[in-house]
Structure 1
Amino acid sequence: MCLKTNLPESMNTTTDDKTIVKDYFNATGFDRWRRIYGDGEVNKVQKDIRLGHQQTIDTVVAWLKADGNLANLSICDAGCGVGSLSIPLAQEGAKIFASDISEKMVTEAQERAQKALKDASNVTFAVQDLESLTGNYHTVICLDVLIHYPAEDAEKMIKHLASLSESRLILSFAPKTLCLTLLKKIGEFFPGPSKTTRAYQHKEKDIIQILEQNGFTIQRKDMTSTRFYYSRILEAVKE
């Protein structure tokens, strides 16, 4: 995840994080991240983030394809954004339920799916936050979302996502390491749109402990690291 979330400085208030994220990705954040997740012209930092995010997507898709049963799976893509993960998984035949807190992101994802898929009947998009998700899925995936929430909220969300998963939970998060913490601190000295605000890092051992407490064990790990994007990916399966 990018440690410079570029949330406007005016949003750095006591307002709860979920409201901040929802408002941001339905306003200026939507245009910024739609460009990053697209294929148009972007600046060097945005291009680096785009490449890092795509590496994370490619890793998860490769994991699922390697198991050889992707077409038989039901998958919840929690925090789907513009459909960067949902669409390639749907192309492989998986049954996808994809949600995002941002209505604009979901609309963009639906439009991209209609263009990319010959038959989009196996992917459903909905405007929902993580806490309101219901149902049961073979695999639940939540990528590049935990960066928006502090540890106590992240724990609650992971617990809820675990309750929806019949077999597997895949998460990515910005790892809390000394190096990345220093980089974030340095970023706080820069004024204007480059200023970091609410970009939460999480200790890997804490995330693993939460997963284990909810009946999961780690099966695969990976790390995406570019100049401006850092993401630890964990695949956990039910014991």
Structure 2
Amino acid sequence: MNAADDKTIVREYFNSTGFDRWKRIYGDGEVNKVQLDIRTGHQQTVDTVIGWLKDDNNLSQLSICDAGCGVGSLSIPLVEEGAKVYASDISAKMVSEAQDRAVAAFKNSVNPTFAVKDLESLSGDYHTVICLDVLIHYPQDKADEMISHLCSLAETRMILSFAPKTFFLSILKKIGSFFPGPSKATRAYLHREADVVKILEKNGFQIQRKAMTRTRFYFSSLLEATR
């Protein structure tokens, strides 16, 4: 399966059965134990990012690109903190849900701005580019291209999360329990931290902060890099 096929599968999945599943996970309704665990892990990652940005005491002055925004789990809180946010996702259904949640939160506000785009189609200049829990859909060679493109949009800072390629997680993935459940329909790619760091450094960024979120079914390494 090539990268183009991966992208098509991801788009179709998150516009169909995947949308229903992840809408529930990223919401506040009743879910099963596995989905609740993933919800908890994802929220911890989001909270860490927001905490990092708030620590700098300049969120109201920032333009932020939320690349792969899903249903707005990060975009909406960032706007609440005063940031100017441009958010995009490959899934039209995800973007529509994010827009509905933003309208409920901010009424007629035009912030955040949403668009249906894959990561490679993004353009513009932003103080900070953030891409959470998206690299899992990219094999290593395509991850290099995608991260490098996002780096070209970031004036000052990149924040990325990814499923780390460790012996333990590789075994879990091999036996099919990394993302359990009958609605699993996309391939999961793990990445070595050293490989991600190398890509960022190649594009002129240096690592400033790291974090790791680990629950029973959710594993995510988080990197902040600046230049």
TM-score w.r.t. the length of structure 2 is: 0.95
Q: In 2 relative to 1, CA 42–225 (structure 1 residues): closer, same or farther, beyond 3 Å?
A: same
Do structure 1's residue 122 and structure 2's residue 120 form an aligned pair? no
Note if contact 1:187-1:194 (Cα within 8 Å) is conserved in structure 2.
no
Do structure 1's residue 136 and structure 2's residue 125 form an aligned pair? yes
Equivalence for 1:16: 5
Indicate the SS of the match to 1:59.
helix
Equivalence for 1:213: 202
Tell which deviates more after alignment, 177-186 or 34-43: 177-186
Equivalence for 2:160: 171
Counterpart residue type for residue 69 of structure 1: N
Structure showing greater relative contact order (alpha-carbon pairs closer than 8 Å, 6 or more residues apart): 1
TM-score w.r.t. the length of structure 1 is: 0.90
Q: In 2 relative to 1, CA 168–19 (structure 1 residues): closer, same or farther, beyond 3 Å?
A: same
Counterpart residue type for residue 151 of structure 2: A
Alpha-carbon deviations, 1:109-148, whole Å to 9, x = none? 0000111225622210000000000000000000000001
Indicate the SS of the match to 1:193.
coil
* Aligned partner of 1:77 among 66, 84, 104: 66
Q: Which structure 2 segments of 5+ residues have no match?
A: none
Q: Find the aligned partners of 1:106 and 1:71 in 2 and give their Cα distance.
A: 23
1:193-212 aligned within 5 A? 193=182, 198-212=187-201
Equivalence for 2:21: 32
* Aligned partner of 1:97 among 86, 89, 97: 86
How big is the alpha-carbon RMSD for the aligned residues of Structure 1 and Structure 2?
1.9
1:197 to partner: Cα distance = 5.4
Q: Find the aligned partners of 1:123 and 1:33 in 2 and give their Cα distance.
A: 21
Note if contact 2:134-2:162 (Cα within 8 Å) is conserved in structure 1.
yes
Moved over 3 A (4+): 194-197
Q: Find the aligned partners of 1:197 and 1:176 in 2 and give their Cα distance.
A: 17
Tell which deviates more after alignment, 132-141 or 110-119: 110-119
Q: Find the aligned partners of 1:186 and 1:102 in 2 and give their Cα distance.
A: 28
Q: Find the aligned partners of 1:186 and 1:17 in 2 and give their Cα distance.
A: 21
Q: Find the aligned partners of 2:89 and 2:23 in 1 and give their Cα distance.
A: 14
Note if contact 2:15-2:94 (Cα within 8 Å) is conserved in structure 1.
yes
Equivalence for 1:152: 141
1:89 to partner: Cα distance = 0.2
Tell which deviates more after alignment, 194-203 or 166-175: 194-203
Q: Find the aligned partners of 2:30 and 2:87 in 1 and give their Cα distance.
A: 27
Q: Which structure 1 segments of 5+ residues have no match?
A: 1-12
Q: Find the aligned partners of 1:47 and 1:192 in 2 and give their Cα distance.
A: 13
Over the matched positions of the two proteins, sequence identity in percent amounts to 72
* Aligned partner of 2:175 among 176, 183, 186: 186
Q: In 2 relative to 1, CA 44–212 (structure 1 residues): closer, same or farther, beyond 3 Å?
A: same
Q: Find the aligned partners of 1:159 and 1:73 in 2 and give their Cα distance.
A: 21
